[in-house]
Amino acid sequence: MGVQVKAITKPVGDERYEAISHYWANNDKGVLTPFERDWFIGWLGSNNTYAYVSEDGDSARCDVKDNGQIRFLQTRADASQANNLLSLPRKQA
């Protein structure tokens, strides 16, 4: 079973080229919690699970990517924009 990402945190200001710093998901007590990017990706791997985004009844799985500097999540491409990570609400961690 996957973990639904419900919100994201990006740096304030010119964020076009800045990676998501925190993924917001429910913790083991069901409370929406910010998880730091590297920790969350490591946790997904060590627990043999995955992250996904679900908006407007559409779900999209997230893949772990590596650009040579950082690891990050990227939503699998589909026909919906609503279920993209960058379409999620923004929260401050």
pLDDT in tens, 33-67: 999 999 999 999 999 999 999 987 788 999 999 99
Name the pTM for this structure: 0.89
φ/ψ of 89, rounded to 5, equals: -60, 150
pLDDT at 12: 77
Residues in the chain: 93
